[in-house]
Every structure is written in structure tokens, then in C-alpha cells.
Amino acid sequence: MNLFRSLVAVTSLSLATAGVALAQENVVESQSYTFDVQTVVQGLEHPWGLAFLPDGRFLVTERDPGTIRIGTADGQLSDPIHRIEDLFQPKGPTPMSQAGLFDIRLHPDFEQNQLVYWVYSRVTERGSAVAVQRARLGGMVGRDQLTGVEDVWVMDEDWQNASPVHYGGRMLWGADGMLYLTIGDRYVMDRAQDLEDQAGAVLRMTEIGEVPPDNPRFDEDANEYLFTGGHRNIQAIAVRPGTEEIWAVEHGPLGGDEINHLIGGNNYGWPWITGGDDYSGAPIGVGTEREGMTSAIHIFEETVAPSGLAFVHDEPALQDWTGDMLVGGLVAEGIVRVRLGNGNVVDEEWMEVGRRIRDVEIHDGSVWLITEHSDGEVLRLTPR
Ligand SMILES: [Ca+2]
Ligand SMILES: [Ca+2]
């Protein structure tokens, strides 16, 4: 069974040794490194978020069943340790639905408090709300449990609706200890420029979902959770190592995926300023600049469909890439490595993996990816 499409950059090799689920070994080539690709676990249902525990195991979310499982580097995968209640799913078959369980991240003080946070689409009377939930991970290895499950934040009723797309759904702990949450425009583009609206934005909140006293000020009607506005749909966000800067890679319209350095109080312009065209082919917006709006640092010429972001930092095995962004791509079916210099992109390298990539992590000298399929996998790319 060849899990990978036949691609120039991916060559099947005969497998000398096989672990529990290391069913296939492949190679991804880049300018600096040749990576061996291991399928660490497979059979996941639309995996969405991947987060490593201090003991080296990982948490992985499955989108539509709304489940959280634990995996190990040697290919073991637990049964679900948790299933989200009140998960929103559209009624009837909706093949394009993006609803379900999204990102998962450990609290910055996880070793002290064992708190895990995740983002999901919660069912409500008005359809669905983006919500952040947390629980404490406890129990013994092999009998892990999430206890004390509670919603720490639920999107205001005014902004809830039943659209099953453009949720955003990534979260991040800032260097300031605040929780940053991305919410897409819910496929109603003008919502991104309504700064009262929690959609089409990045929100900033405390660990218990409250408005921090030092949130940026937009105009007096703006939503008090707003950190940045004017976004289409961000699913790739990270702190740039060695700084407190927050960077995001955003799904644009056709040919308009973009990189932004997020500065609190800024409006990133969607749909007024953007690269690319509407998926219908019609032009959108007024160009790529407008007064009072922040232009993208970079607009990708080809569609990435950016879905996860990790910076390379302090990784001897990936020394040549120190400081670079690794962007996972659904449409790119691989990773795009981006080097920043002087506030611009100075190098861009596309590496084809042959699978729709949903999240990227760097751990233990390897690049770890999850693939977003209904038989999704955790892949480990280790440089030779
Ligand atoms: Ca992750
Ligand atoms: Ca923009």
C-alpha cells in the first residue's frame, strides 16, 4: 500500500525495519537536507492539532469526531482520552465542512498545572460558536484522563452562526502569557472589517478567557477582545524565537496567501487590501495598500493554504534553517520554508510531501507533520 502519491520529490524505499505503525518510509528532499519520512501513526480522523508533552508523547486532535488521543514516537496511539460534548457539526452531508475540534496547546506552566487548552466549534441555539476549552491531564501513562473540562471562552452570541467554514481555530500562548485565538471571517468577508465582530480577527485574552487590561484600543465600538482585525482566516501562528513577535500565515483568496507580523491594534485589511482574486475569478479589493491598513509582509504567488507554522530555533540537526519559518500547506501538500530578513522574505523553498499538511511541529531534531485526511497520519521527517 503506497500512502503517498508518486512525486518527484518523494521516493519510496524498501523498508528495512518496521515499528508498530511505521508502515512506509519515504524521503523528502530539500536544498539543505534529505529527510527520511516515517509514518508514526495513521488512521486518524481528520487530525488538526498536534502538541508535544514534556515526556515526549504527543496529543493529537481529530476534527469531526471531536476526540483527543495520545501518541508516542514509536508508533503507539491511544484510544480517545476525551470526546468533546456539544461539538457543532452541520446537519446532513456537508463535504466542505470545516467544523469540529481544532488546535490544542499546553498551558505555558503545564509542568506545574497540567492544563491543556483546545479550540472547537460549539453547538449553540444560533448555530455555532468558536470556543476555547481546557482540562487537566492526569492519570497514569496508558490511563491518561482529562478532568475538570470547562469552557474558558465562547464567542459572543451576536457573532454566532451556522456556517461550517472559516473558523480559524488556531491558538497561541504569547511571550506575555496571554492566549491569542484566531477566528476566520466565517466566509462573510465584510465581517473582517466590522471591528465590533469577533470574526475575521485575532483575539487576545487571559488564561481564563477575560479581557486583559492592556488590550490595544481600536475605536470605541470595537470588540474589547480584539488584538488585530481585518483577517480572512488564520490557521498558522507562532512566536518568532528570540523575540516577542507574533507572526501569522493567512489563507487568502485564490493566489493571495500572505505572511503578517501581527502588531496589536493593526487592521490587516481583508477584504479591502489583499493579493489574489476571489475563487470565482472576480477581482477583490482595492490592491495591496490602503491608508490605515497594514500590508502583508509577503504574498505567495502559488496557493499554499497555510495550515500550521513552526519556527526553527535551537535545533542543531536543522542548523542551516535557524530562524526560518516552516509553513504547512494543505494545497501545497508539503512544507514551505521561508527565511525572513530586514522585515522581508529573502528565501522561499517548497518541499513536497504529497499529503495535505494540517500542522507542523519541531521536536527532538525532527519536523513533525499531521496530514488532514480521513485516514490522517502523524509523519516524522528526520534529516540524514
Ligand atoms: Ca501544534
Ligand atoms: Ca491582509
**Looking at residue 304, which CATH number applies to its domain?**
2.120.10.30
**Per the domain annotation, does 13 fall within a domain?**
no
CA of residue 120 to ligand 1 center, whole Å: 15
- Count the alpha carbons within 13 Å of 357 in the hemisphere toward its beta carbon: 31
CB 206 within 8 A of CB 232: no
Q: Which domain holds residue 203?
A: 25-383
Q: What is the pLDDT of residue 286?
A: 87
**Per the domain annotation, does 220 fall within a domain?**
yes
Candidates 38, 52, 49, 60; CA nearest to 382 is 38
- What is the DSSP code (8-state) at residue 15? -
Q: Largest alpha-carbon pair distance within the chain? A: 64
**Per the domain annotation, does 81 fall within a domain?**
yes
Q: What is the pLDDT of residue 139?
A: 85
CB 172 within 8 A of CB 209: no
Candidates 169, 174, 101; CA nearest to 135 is 101
Q: Which residues pair with 150 in a beta bridge?
A: 134
| 231 alpha carbon, closest ligand | 2
- What is the DSSP code (8-state) at residue 314? S
CA of residue 118 to ligand 1 center, whole Å: 11
CA of residue 288 to ligand 2 center, whole Å: 8
CA of residue 69 to ligand 2 center, whole Å: 35
Q: What is the pLDDT of residue 292?
A: 95
CB 93 within 8 A of CB 163: no
Query: Which residues line ion ligand 1, judged by CB < 5 Å?
Result: 50, 359
> How long a stretch of residues is the chain?
384
**Per the domain annotation, does 182 fall within a domain?**
yes
- 98-110 in b/e form (b: 16+ CB < 10 A) is bbbbbbbbbbeeb
**Per the domain annotation, does 9 fall within a domain?**
no
CB 139 within 8 A of CB 77: no
Collect all residues with Cβ–Cβ distance below 8 Å to 251 and sequence separation of at least 6. 184, 232, 233, 234, 235, 257, 305, 306
Q: How far apart are CA 357 and CA 340, in angstroms?
A: 22
- Beta strands 179-183; 58-62: pairing state: unpaired
With H, G, I as helix, E, B as strand and everything else as coil, classify residue 317.
Answer: helix
> Which own/partner contact pairs does 191-196 have at CB distance under 8 Å and 24+ positions apart?
191/159, 192/229, 192/230, 192/231, 192/232, 192/270, 192/271, 193/229, 193/230, 193/267, 193/270, 193/271, 193/272, 195/219, 195/221, 195/222, 195/223, 195/226, 195/229, 195/267, 196/221, 196/222, 196/223
Q: What is the pLDDT of residue 151?
A: 98
CA of residue 112 to ligand 1 center, whole Å: 20
CA of residue 376 to ligand 2 center, whole Å: 30
Collect all residues with Cβ–Cβ distance below 8 Å to 291 and sequence separation of at least 6. none
Collect all residues with Cβ–Cβ distance below 8 Å to 363 and sequence separation of at least 6. 52, 58
CA of residue 323 to ligand 2 center, whole Å: 23
Residue pLDDT tens, the chain, 384 long = 333 333 333 333 333 333 334 444 599 999 999 999 999 999 999 999 999 999 999 999 999 999 999 999 999 999 999 999 999 998 888 888 999 999 999 999 999 999 999 999 999 999 999 999 999 999 887 889 999 999 999 999 999 999 999 999 999 999 999 999 999 999 999 999 999 999 999 999 999 999 999 999 998 899 999 999 999 999 999 999 999 999 999 999 998 999 999 999 999 999 999 998 888 888 899 889 999 999 999 999 999 999 999 999 999 999 999 999 999 999 999 999 999 998 899 999 999 999 999 999 999 999 999 999 999 999 999 999
| 233 alpha carbon, closest ligand | 2
Q: What is the pLDDT of residue 2?
A: 34
Q: What is the number of structural domains in the chain? A: 1
238 grid coordinates: 507562532
**Per the domain annotation, does 11 fall within a domain?**
no
